[in-house]
Structure 1
């Protein structure tokens, strides 16, 4: 017994050693097998065939959005080659034991093409995770064969241009815990119907993450979302199409951490006054109504990291926000919050993002706001702040926007210490004093700088040799410049340059032609002379050179593939004909060459431009008839046509009038004003338009997409007014004055219920003036100089007696009252447009518009402030 005991220890040791050796050897063999023999031939072949279904296109994956949401785009499928283990291919993951492909991540891979319903991808029956986000599948439908992935846990097809109805088979994926179907918010091409959603809610009992951003769910009752699993942690319904009252019981889901809901039209949700889910970390609401005030109970959300509320909130910011110690992002922009910024916000020392833009906040900016230690993004634009800016005490800021306030005094010198700053907007304030450009020399990370529309004088030091190499967007409108800023000369990434309303004299420098990704160039309202360089139009989407002294022919050619969207040469001394090469600019939306000396016949060849919406040829030397040589409809999208002050003759262009579809179609259900603009990567630029009213020119700093205007005045047009004008039901402005038109005013024009301005004066019109609708609002000046006209509002009656009925004085008073009411009530489009233009003209609002993403690509950007309905009559009457 004792001998056995002595021997058992060495034997046990030997036994353990042999076991470990065997296990180690097996591990090495398994490891070798896993790196060389995992992927089956069948699955590798299926992936290779899937690869051939698509081409690689650089436009298929947005680098900016990819980097924000996922990762930097890459050509993942280029590593997919026969003879190489597919488990080592980019984006492919395999099970270490079975060798089956279990995960496929092809997000941001530049895939381009139609997604086939019989794709070999469906051979991968063991797939547990599929990510196809940020590619371009050309509006394909999501294949119903997706139900074959019975083991799928994660499905992401976001932002990949899928469209049509989401297949009901998605609801037959029982193990799904994460479903992402998000679509680009302005397309709404992907539709989720009630039946599919009901099945999805019923069958997907394990779902934790549901992202439906940008999906059209108009038929779904918001109450159905309350049937989702109580284990839900993320619900993203931002930028989706939903209507109705979303139940606020969503705030009581026990595990919900992230909730995003937006829809400005007919979507509401009530913020609870108590019993919030304490686990909520991210809350984003951008809806038409969430209650008048932000409740004090918001301070109960101790875990909240990000809070964004845009739902017409009123009153002051509740003091209880100070009780949110984890808050890193606070966005209360686009509300009606008033009063001063509460000192309690100073307690939010973890804030990295603060936006209070587009409210009614006032008072001075509190000093502590520039001392928050971690603050990177500060947006306080479009409020009523006044006074001076305190010195900056920390340098963590990367984005600073104080535009559109009443701030005054000098720009603090300490701004030079913000070495991390990439975005600076101080435009549309009352800043004064002389600003040396050298102040910004240390800001080597600066990408955007807007100083427009202040009382500043920006001076360039001739001896300064600094550059800002990262500059992409520059706006120095109304900065008393007398020369081009030399420090932007070597900014090779420049995308937009706005130097309008200055006193710059001379020629356009050659170095501007070398900015080959330059998209927007606005040098309007300066003293520039000479000929326009031939190089400019080849690169740009916007070229605005109006109100200068350029002369000579428009000799520069417009090459094939020309990307111009807006060409504005209004108010120069250009002569010669309009170049036919303009037809190469197929994206052209606005063409304004008014008030020059351009000659020739009507350029009917512009009919071939499919997107042309605004055409201004006024005050030139055009002549001949305005007729089409085509039998097919032309100028279908044209909404503004101004041919006034030329030598056009012959009858009204009836063929064109009958095909102005954009002047006939309804504006849609959403009445909120939109403006024509040219997008860039992070910003957009509003188009402008000069209009004439009672002999004065006004520049509208924004063209409403609903604006509909026809001006053929001051020509030699003859014949009758065509009844077909009555079909232009969107028309807000009709001016046929100072021509040779004869006959009666067609009764059909009474159907123009959007008409705000009518001028038929100085023609040879006869007969009774039509009555009803808008015609009850127009005064004598709309008809003067037509001796054959009679009836209200003229003093000449149509019964030959010479005076109207005795009640005319009363009707005249009613007309005067009615005109004022109609100006505010009818034709809101042109009123908004004129009002916006008037406000810009009077108080200097900028045409340069702020960032789409407001520093955060997860949001669509700040909204334009709603114009207050003041001083309208001062402009129109």
Structure 2
């Protein structure tokens, strides 16, 4: 037997030690099962073995010391187990090894120097372990993928690594690496760069315009970067994700981002950008996530010059800026990805990307305020939809058109200067899980139709000027006093003040006649005339009874009588003549 492949099953228990007797074995793949025990108990020690995959099981114990005869190994995959201890430094040479995947274990200590000297190494993954220390210079000229994320590595990452001709993917997130990004000028083949959650600093060099046109992912969030973003994004580039969240970037949003026609995620949140709303981003038809939260954006949001702006946008977070003017009604009207989404037909996927041949996975990570709490979403479903325009200076009414966005999960318009009534059209947002309209100047009653929002879990209408009864039934029976505090005159449960009897409404017939112009009967015209006639009659009656007959009025009346008498006589004579 040369090949033994029993992967992607639900096998349990321990593999038989008799496997070590397979002297001609070339390919052993048992990954993605529930096997346990120690790898050395069944590992064949034969020169013929080229491919060994035992990842995604429950193997434990110290990292196995590979037998001296396994020098021909080409690919070694031990990831996603419970292997612990340091990497064995006594292994000084696997000259043919091209694939080394040891991620998602409990490996500790430093990365031994032999790893950096493997001459044929192309794929290297030590992510999600407990490694410490510095990273040394890689001597392999064939490296294409390096993933050291989620360890305790620190210091400066060797800049010579960026000079590797074939390096396309470098993932160093969640460590404590430091230094500037000048080495990026040498990254002519880089397609994926993830440096998030480290201590990198400095600015993005102007040479970033020399990146490969195939550069698709730039994740620099949660570092100490500063300065402006170079306006050097080339035309026909392949950027899909640009995440700069939680740094110190400043200045305007580079206009050349409009060249990123493939862009799906743009997160500029929690920086110092100072600019007007970059409306031209609405021409990026594939954009699904736009986050500008916690910056210094200002001014009104102008009407888009594009026929259908942001047609695929699912997450729109403009919170905690200085935007003014009315809410962007035209954008609400065209957010097609937030309308009429048939979730039953959607395959559950996460925002992100997958490399060719499953060489890497990347999930977009977003920081969003959900149901009143700031959440770091490490995975974001593609059906997740939210609008957050809170903590700005928006004014005017909430447009009725927002009721068309019947697939959104969260709507936050709090801490603005919005006025007018809560639109009843919000009752159409049947998927809504949280609604925050607090700290505005809203008036009128809470629309009774909102009690039909059966998915609503969090409601905050506090600090407005609302009046009248709180809707009862369904989800409204679960909301506490905090949802309604500091309003003018709300009443009914859960508040203690009971509602007064309702004032009778005017007869419906009056509104029907008011709207029916063909009837010729208009109360707005008749009522003032009726009142004036009544007042005139009372005044004349008073003069008549208090002062006798007014001579001018007597002359008018008697004159009219004489004229009437003469006309009557003329008519009588004519009738007799006939």
* Deviation, structure 1 residue 489: 4.7
* Deviation, structure 1 residue 591: 1.1
The residue number in structure 2 matching 1:634 is 309
The residue number in structure 2 matching 1:410 is 86
1: CA distance, partners of 2:441 / 2:31: 54
1: CA distance, partners of 2:280 / 2:262: 15
The residue number in structure 1 matching 2:510 is none
The residue number in structure 1 matching 2:457 is 778
For 2:7, which of 328, 332, 355 is the aligned residue? 332
The residue number in structure 2 matching 1:709 is 386
Contact 1:667/1:706 (<8 A) preserved: no
1: CA distance, partners of 2:451 / 2:59: 47
Are residues 348 and 599 of structure 1, via their aligned partners in 2, closer, same or farther at CA, if it must alter by over 3 Å? Answer: same
Contact 1:519/1:680 (<8 A) preserved: no
1:288-687 alignment runs, 5 A limit: 326=1, 328-333=3-8, 335-343=9-17, 345-346=19-20, 350-369=24-43, 371=45, 374-393=48-67, 394-436=70-112, 438-460=113-135, 467-479=139-151, 480-485=153-158, 488-510=161-183, 512-537=184-209, 538-539=211-212, 540-630=215-305, 632-667=307-342, 669-678=344-353, 680-682=355-357, 683-684=359-360, 685-687=362-364
Q: Deviations over 1:30-57 (max 9, x none)?
A: xxxxxxxxxxxxxxxxxxxxxxxxxxxx
* Deviation, structure 1 residue 722: 2.7
Are residues 593 and 777 of structure 1, via their aligned partners in 2, closer, same or farther at CA, if it must alter by over 3 Å? Answer: closer
Contact 2:208/2:232 (<8 A) preserved: no
The residue number in structure 1 matching 2:422 is 745
For the pair shown, which has the larger CA radius of gyration, 1 or 2?
A: 2
* TM-score, normalisation: structure 2: 0.74
Contact 1:532/1:556 (<8 A) preserved: no
2: CA distance, partners of 1:801 / 1:704: 38
Q: Deviations over 1:16-37 (max 9, x none)?
A: xxxxxxxxxxxxxxxxxxxxxx
Which piece of structure 1 moves more, 538-547 or 744-753?
744-753
What 5-or-longer segments of structure 2 have no aligned partner? 498-578
1: CA distance, partners of 2:410 / 2:372: 15
1: CA distance, partners of 2:143 / 2:344: 40
Contact 2:371/2:434 (<8 A) preserved: no
1: CA distance, partners of 2:34 / 2:456: 35
* Deviation, structure 1 residue 678: 3.9
Contact 2:93/2:114 (<8 A) preserved: no
2: CA distance, partners of 1:757 / 1:349: 62
Are residues 714 and 413 of structure 1, via their aligned partners in 2, closer, same or farther at CA, if it must alter by over 3 Å? Answer: same
Are residues 452 and 459 of structure 1, via their aligned partners in 2, closer, same or farther at CA, if it must alter by over 3 Å? Answer: same
* Deviation, structure 1 residue 456: 0.5
Q: Deviations over 1:446-491 (max 9, x none)?
A: 1011112211014345xx7x61111000111233221113562552
The residue number in structure 2 matching 1:862 is none
2: CA distance, partners of 1:355 / 1:731: 44
Are residues 344 and 725 of structure 1, via their aligned partners in 2, closer, same or farther at CA, if it must alter by over 3 Å? Answer: farther
The residue number in structure 2 matching 1:198 is none
Q: Deviations over 1:643-668 (max 9, x none)?
A: 01111122221211111111225356
The residue number in structure 2 matching 1:307 is none
1: CA distance, partners of 2:263 / 2:371: 30
The residue number in structure 2 matching 1:755 is 432
2: CA distance, partners of 1:427 / 1:501: 14
Which piece of structure 1 moves more, 400-409 or 595-604?
400-409
2: CA distance, partners of 1:748 / 1:371: 71
2: CA distance, partners of 1:783 / 1:354: 61
* Deviation, structure 1 residue 550: 1.9
Which piece of structure 1 moves more, 750-759 or 525-534?
750-759
* Deviation, structure 1 residue 494: 0.4
* TM-score, normalisation: structure 1: 0.50
* Deviation, structure 1 residue 330: 0.9
Question: What RMSD, in angstroms, separates the aligned Cα atoms of the two structures?
Answer: 3.1
1: CA distance, partners of 2:496 / 2:3: 69
2: CA distance, partners of 1:618 / 1:452: 30
Secondary structure of the structure 2 residue equivalent to 1:657: helix
Contact 1:762/1:786 (<8 A) preserved: yes
* Deviation, structure 1 residue 774: 4.2
* Deviation, structure 1 residue 635: 0.7
Matched, 1:689 2:362: no
Secondary structure of the structure 2 residue equivalent to 1:605: helix
2: CA distance, partners of 1:650 / 1:799: 25
Secondary structure of the structure 1 residue equivalent to 2:107: strand
What 5-or-longer segments of structure 1 have no aligned partner? 1-325, 809-877
2: CA distance, partners of 1:784 / 1:372: 72
Higher relative contact order (CA 8 A, sep 6+): 2
1: CA distance, partners of 2:275 / 2:304: 16
* Deviation, structure 1 residue 515: 2.5
Are residues 368 and 641 of structure 1, via their aligned partners in 2, closer, same or farther at CA, if it must alter by over 3 Å? Answer: same
Secondary structure of the structure 1 residue equivalent to 2:39: coil
Contact 2:282/2:306 (<8 A) preserved: no
The residue number in structure 1 matching 2:541 is none
Are residues 442 and 585 of structure 1, via their aligned partners in 2, closer, same or farther at CA, if it must alter by over 3 Å? Answer: same
Matched, 1:768 2:462: no
Contact 1:469/1:490 (<8 A) preserved: no
The residue number in structure 2 matching 1:150 is none
1: CA distance, partners of 2:156 / 2:248: 21
1: CA distance, partners of 2:101 / 2:208: 27
Contact 1:533/1:556 (<8 A) preserved: no
